Amino acid sequence: MPNGYTGKVLRVDLNSGKTSTDEHDDVFYRTYGGGAGMIAYYLLKEVPPSVDALGPDNHLIVANGPLTGIPVGGTGRNCIGGKSPLTGGFGQADVGGYFGSELKRAGWDGIVVTGVSDKPVYLSIVDDEVEIRNAAHLWGKTSGPTEDIIREEIGDKSLRFALIGPPGEKLSNIAGVIVDKSRAAGRSGMAAVMGSKKLKAIAVRGHSNVPVADPEPFKDMAKWVNKAQHDRIPTFQPHGTNGGLKSFHDFGGLPTRHFELGHFDGGWEDISGERMTEDILLKNETCFACTIRCKRVVEIKDGDYQVSPEYGGPEYETVGAVGSNCEVDDLAAVAYASQVCNEYGLDTIGAGMAISTAMSWWEAGIIDASDTGGIELKFGNAEAMVAMILQIANREGFGDILANGSAKAAEIVGKGAPDHVVAVKGQDFPMHEPRLKAAIGVGFAVSPTGGDHNHSIHDTMFTGPGWNMDRANAWGVYEPMEATDLSPEKMRLFAAQSNWCWAKNTIGMCIFLPWDLDHITEMMSAATGWNYSSYELMQLGERVVTMARIYNTRAGFTAADDSMPERIFKPFKTGPLADFQYPRDEWEEGKRVYYGLMGWDEAGIPTRDAVIAQGLGEFADEIESVVT
């Protein structure tokens, strides 16, 4: 058994109430890694794409990577996946904090939960002692009280949690699995899968260090990143991810007014990272072993929206989703909405986008006060935004419709409502604008999970010299490119960057850390004892996205599902990018080039040869039968 892994995956059968262990060998781990790769493996092997995502035959898969839990910056990540009730295909969300590292310290590389309990339960894992416990008294409770009660029951204040609140229990497609009360595996609807199984929480405590083959390189790496973070990502520590809001506004690519605008004149300053730091920041918090400390912890004691530091604070995606994209410039309202999402268990992107979509419907006359119970869902109405996010959290009123996610809510509303949805494969866009970052538009389209920024390219990182361009040089891309470039060369860069992100999601490494390709390769060798190469690392990422694509192909997805909302093809009327027309023909050609680079045919289906080239020969015959 290599170091970096425990060699054990916990299986929990909620039908029978029994647990067991899957043990995997070196070949398994070297092929699939962990994280997103482990999720793809179990989905392909055990979850037919025809199953009901909220039925007993779906799996909930929690997966660490080989670097998860090793004490060096960025290794507090793990993934939660299954078939997505939001998209109907491959579902995966990654999350930071301490839960993944604690699970690894307890001796587990992952958890596979099958079946459905006949009553609410929670899972207690203390090292190799696993119990399925009654959670009837916890059903309906939010994240803070749930943690407190379970800690008292088990008698351990150091427990770490992945849990759901009322939205997950009520099967909201935009519910999020909450970790440490302030982080969320929010995308793809995994909290609804957890709720469908009547699984309230997973509580874990571990007492062992993660075994590594050679600990010395990690000591040097920790020193290096502590210094490099100040040069490479200088705004992350003082202002968190929201430190980037100003630059997006200045460039004209800050999602505003439900992606109608790219700048938030007169409002962006009031919700910026700098204003948050000045006015409401209580302290910085971090994830396992990370020195960057980019997590916000905010507090507001007075006023209409009082906010407790117990639930952290808003990051950029939250500020964009419930702030600029709803044209809300009230920082207290934004912080309160963030608290509601973390307390109740909602994906802040999905919730914010559902509300901004509804505001767009209101403006178009598709809905009015008779639909919303009197709530005036106008852009800029902070009170309405907060009221609606509480309705979504409790599945009450019009919020009960929006809790399905904007795409499915639009089908219910009808009357032209689907024309206002800004999503791919049913998953709403994150707060990144393709009219600024052109290739990310291709990334959203081809992503197996729909609109997702965590395994894509951010074009503005590669417009000039710097450490990001140095990494591109290692991939054979030597010249910077404009952010709006959609050339075949940009697609080559996008393919490499996307595979790099998938690799990091698979091995348990945060995408925000300023590690280079050589650093991660050295870490993998030091952790596992294998003679790891950068080629192998990049191929791992490509293998995982190919597996996800195979799963979606099984589910009937085609190139037509690699779509783009019509709104993105309309130019902004004002702002720095006014009159820029996102080029439909170049976007279509970009997809076609990407398919070719990945070894997929023009329908976006992995070819038999590509599947074999990725070491996935066991699926080669199957993919050929799907094509024919």
pLDDT at 150: 98
Domains and CATH numbers, the chain: 8-205 (3.60.9.10), 239-423 (1.10.569.10), 438-627 (1.10.599.10)
Average pLDDT for residues 154-166, to the nearest whole number? 98
User: Average model confidence (pLDDT) for the chain?
Assistant: 96
pLDDT at 151: 98
Other beta carbons within 10 Å of 409: 25
Is the alpha carbon torsion for 421, 352, 545, 20 positive or negative?
negative
**Residue 435, pLDDT above cutoff 90:** yes
The string of pLDDT tens digits covering residues 568-581 is 999 998 999 998 99
CB-based contacts of 375: which residues, under 8 Å, 6+ apart?
Answer: 369, 384, 387, 388, 391, 397, 398
Angle between helices 438-446 and 488-507 (to 10 degrees): 60
Q: Do 92 and 79 form a contact (C-beta atoms < 8 A)?
A: yes
The secondary structure of the chain in percent helix, strand, coil, rounded to multiples of 5, reads 45, 15, 40
Give dist(CA 65, CA 72) in Å, integer. Answer: 14
The string of pLDDT tens digits covering residues 12-24 is 999 999 999 999 9
3-class DSSP string for 250-315: HHCCCCECCCCECCCCCCHHHHCHHHHHHHCEEEEECCCCCCCCCEEEECECCCCCCECHHHCCCC
323 closest CA partner among 332, 505, 444: 332
439 closest CA partner among 501, 500, 482, 502: 482
Other beta carbons within 10 Å of 48: 12
For tokens 């702002």, what's the residue?
575
Helix (H, G, I), strand (E, B) or coil at 606: strand
DSSP 390-444: HHHHHT-TTHHHHTT-HHHHHHHH-TTGGGG--EETTEEP-S--TTTSHHHHHHH
Q: Name all contacts of 516-520 with Cβ < 8 Å and 24+ positions apart.
A: 516/467, 516/470, 516/471, 516/474, 517/471, 517/474, 518/474, 519/221, 519/224
The string of pLDDT tens digits covering residues 390-425 is 999 999 999 999 999 999 999 999 999 999 999 999
pLDDT at 628: 42
pLDDT at 625: 56
pLDDT at 12: 98
Residue 182, amino acid: S
* CA–CA distances in Å: residue 463 to residues 263, 436, 438, 469: 21, 12, 12, 8
Give dist(CA 145, CA 123) in Å, integer. Answer: 16
**Residue 1, pLDDT above cutoff 70:** no
**Residue 163, pLDDT above cutoff 90:** yes
Average pLDDT for residues 542-564, to the nearest whole number? 96
Residue 69, amino acid: G
486 backbone dihedrals φ, ψ, rounded to 5°: -125, 30
**Residue 620, pLDDT above cutoff 90:** no
pLDDT at 227: 87
189 backbone dihedrals φ, ψ, rounded to 5°: 80, 25
pLDDT band of residue 155 (cuts 50, 70, 90) is: very high
pLDDT at 232: 87
Give dist(CA 469, CA 464) in Å, integer. Answer: 7
pLDDT at 235: 83
**Residue 277, pLDDT above cutoff 60:** yes
Least confident of 234-243, 323-332, 352-361, 396-405: 234-243
pLDDT at 624: 59
Give dist(CA 298, CA 177) in Å, integer. Answer: 21
Reading the block at residue 91, the tokens are: 């579902």
The sheet with strand 60-63 has its strands ordered as 18-23, 8-13, 110-114, 60-63, 78-83, 90-95
Q: Do 397 and 372 form a contact (C-beta atoms < 8 A)?
A: yes
pLDDT at 234: 87
The string of pLDDT tens digits covering residues 355-400 is 999 999 999 999 999 999 999 999 999 999 999 999 999 999 999 9
Average pLDDT for residues 70-93, to the nearest whole number? 97
253 closest CA partner among 496, 562, 577, 589: 577
Reading the block at residue 531, the tokens are: 């003679």
Higher pLDDT, 231 or 505: 505
Give dist(CA 343, CA 351) in Å, integer. Answer: 14
Give dist(CA 381, CA 374) in Å, integer. Answer: 13
The backbone region for 397, taken as left when phi is positive above 0, alpha when psi lies in -120 to 50, beta otherwise, is: left
Helix (H, G, I), strand (E, B) or coil at 8: strand
End-to-end CA distance of the chain: 40
Q: Identify any residues that bridge with 111 across adjacent strands, giving them in sequence order.
A: 10, 62
pLDDT band of residue 177 (cuts 50, 70, 90) is: very high
* CA–CA distances in Å: residue 605 to residues 31, 37, 548, 610: 21, 19, 11, 10
Q: Do 185 and 95 form a contact (C-beta atoms < 8 A)?
A: yes
Give dist(CA 596, CA 124) in Å, integer. Answer: 46
Q: Identify any residues that bridge with 247 across adjacent strands, giving them in sequence order.
A: none
